[in-house]
Structure 1
Amino acid sequence: MSRFLNKNRPPVYCPGCTHEKITKGLDKALTDLNLPADKTVIVSDIGCSGLFDTFFNTHALHGIHGRALTYATGLKLAAPDLNVIVTMGDGGLIIGGAHVLAACRRNLDMTLIILNNFNFGMTGGQYSVTTPTEAVVGSEFLNQAEIPLDICTIAQSAGATYVDRCSGYDADLSGKICKAIEHHGFSIIETLGICTGRYTKKNPLTPASLDQMIKKFPEPSGRIEKNQRPEYGDRYRELAKEKTIFPEAATIEKKIHLGNYQHQEVVILGSAGMRIVTAGDIVGHAGLCAGMNVSIKNDHNVTVLRGPSVSEIIISPDKIDYPGIESPSVVLALSDEGVQRRNKIFASLKPDTFVFKEKKVSIPQTPGKVVEIDFRKLKIKKQDWAMASLGVMAKKEKAVNKEMLIHALKFCFNENRYLTAMETIEKTFNA
């Protein structure tokens, strides 16, 4: 009698589908290996192969398409004593192809069973990465423009330490699965099967033709000797034990005691190269030095060195549940690009909102209280405008004061950078 199959949820596949034979083959392998059910987990994703986790009385994790190996990796590293088995179709194979390659490179001790039936059977019979070029599938001619992928050859090249391929009708299927599971390292076993619901309606395929197909492939050897190396989890834990010095978490002590400090929202609008993010960090640290709660959000182009750059900081004596800026108390407008990025906020500013802008920056009409300074006249370089604007804030005691700013600068910078920053800030204090 089966020890692992779930009697309350028997396998339900299309009549003639090879997946049922592979399900029973896996069950026999688990039974023959006498694995403890509470130490075994089956990880699956989407598609017909994604049904596997419901059919076994083991732990299970069902995830999104192509990502099964990522969940399996986390499980195995967190609980090394688990027997982790991943089931994946040829659809998940290509959608999660990068994860397959990463698993081959790592050599973490888990087993991947690829159920290859040459098409996306669950979603209409479209071609997949393993569909033969000459096949007739539900996605017109697309497979005719590509060659099918040989995952076993790729797995060997990527560093897998155990690779095997067989038909889902193989008389020794359970034995092959056993060997893959017993291997201490990452093992892949590709099973070729028949999708009666979709693929074979237009593509004659039989167990005999699967055997012929396997003979045409380069024969995997099971254990790949040239790739043998320590199992990833073992090596990871070995290296971790050698690590004796760890970076300490930064702690910011309360240095300043403020009176009735009110919730503040600061928006810094600038461009790449103006050190907007650095300025935002300094404002945030200024709040932390005063024992406040702080949140910071930054917005800039992925190119980093071009385009707008925005930093939004909330400083509050209360817990911050939502980090979005709703009612800015300070807006620093340092470039036209930054202003355009957040141009809608200006019309809704309150009359007591402090709006500081560099003289040549244009801003939309606003009810906020606008103050401007000509940084060029003060001979402040453009990359220092954000730092200089913090001096303006501190001088006006808007969101931060000079004492808060000095503590933040000392925390964030070494002595030389601190002195340079203070030279810039002093120019705005004396303006």
Structure 2
Amino acid sequence: EEQGQEFGILSSATSRAEFGVLYADKNPRDQAYASEKKDDGILPQYQSTLKQQVGIVVAGSAGERVQSAAKKLCEAAVVSNLHCTQKNDNPVTQGSGFSLAEVIISPNEIFYTGIETPDAVIVVSEDGMNELHEKHLLDRLTKSTVLILDSSLMKPHTEANIIEYPYRKEFGGAKAAMKAMEFYVKQSGVFPVEALSPASG
């Protein structure tokens, strides 16, 4: 106060709704701008039996189509009449280092896009594994988490259910993430695997 500054509130315990909910309340969909251009987008063709939200983390190397594979997973989820979000992460050195994607699939609208404890983690390269260690993400896995690893990688110490396969050796680095993702869809039944076929074509 002697310096002419005023005391204020440093923190507030007042709870508030998720940003997505507040934004939707402020900007109703029925008042959104409607383009005259005809675009049907992605139309649902399949039905999923998914009852609750799942979070999937995919980690690999830059330039090996990790984020493209995650995009195809999202498209297949939408084709299966589900909601989906995707967040990507990679270093500023484009084309080298790690490549990471976080995907949330849900039968309900998604407002919070963070993944605290993943339901599934797919790791197909050393770059991806190193980044997950750096983020301490592997420390948050539980017994219910499925960890799909390329068999060339060292198993981490975790409670997760580890499934190994030589994706890189059999399919090459550029297809490893997509093939591991196809396995996850078949193994989990998150949506019909047929929905992934047009998306991965």
Quickly name the TM-score band, shorter chain normalised.
Answer: 0.7 to 0.9
CA distance in 1, matches of 2:113, 2:147: 21
Q: More relative contact order in 1 or in 2 (CA 8 Å, sep 6+)?
A: 2
Q: Judge conservation of contact 1:307–1:337 (CA < 8 Å) in 2.
A: yes
Deviation at 1:394, TM superposition (A): 2.4
Change (3 A) 1:248 1:327: farther
Structure 1 residue aligned with 2:73: 283
Q: Judge conservation of contact 2:50–2:107 (CA < 8 Å) in 1.
A: no
CA distance in 2, matches of 1:319, 1:300: 27
Deviation at 1:374, TM superposition (A): 1.4
| Correspondence 1:25-424 to 2 at 5 A | 249=39, 251-343=41-133, 344-378=136-170, 380-397=171-188, 399-409=190-200, 418=201
3-state secondary structure, aligned to 2:89: strand
3-state secondary structure, aligned to 2:138: helix
3-state secondary structure, aligned to 2:86: strand
Q: Judge conservation of contact 2:54–2:106 (CA < 8 Å) in 1.
A: yes
CA distance in 2, matches of 1:376, 1:265: 24
Question: Where do 5+ consecutive residues of structure 1 fail to align?
Answer: 1-245, 410-417, 419-431
Number of matched pairs: 164
Structure 1 residue aligned with 2:17: none
Deviation at 1:249, TM superposition (A): 4.2
Deviation at 1:391, TM superposition (A): 2.1
CA distance in 1, matches of 2:50, 2:165: 29
Deviation at 1:248, TM superposition (A): 5.3
Specify which structure has the higher proportion of helix: 1
CA distance in 2, matches of 1:338, 1:293: 26
1:372-412 Cα distance to aligned partner (Å, 9 max, x none): 0013553x111111111122112313534412212433xxx
CA distance in 1, matches of 2:127, 2:40: 33
Q: TM-score, normalised by structure 1?
A: 0.36
Deviation at 1:323, TM superposition (A): 0.7
Identity %: 27
Q: CA RMSD in A?
A: 2.0
CA distance in 1, matches of 2:100, 2:194: 25
Opposite residue 53 of structure 2, the aligned amino acid is H
1:26-81 Cα distance to aligned partner (Å, 9 max, x none): xxxxxxxxxxxxxxxxxxxxxxxxxxxxxxxxxxxxxxxxxxxxxxxxxxxxxxxx
In terms of mean alpha carbon deviation, does 263-272 or 381-390 score higher?
381-390
1:281-304 Cα distance to aligned partner (Å, 9 max, x none): 011111111111111000012232
CA distance in 1, matches of 2:131, 2:45: 35
Opposite residue 385 of structure 1, the aligned amino acid is A
Change (3 A) 1:260 1:293: closer
Q: Judge conservation of contact 1:328–1:353 (CA < 8 Å) in 2.
A: yes
Change (3 A) 1:341 1:387: same
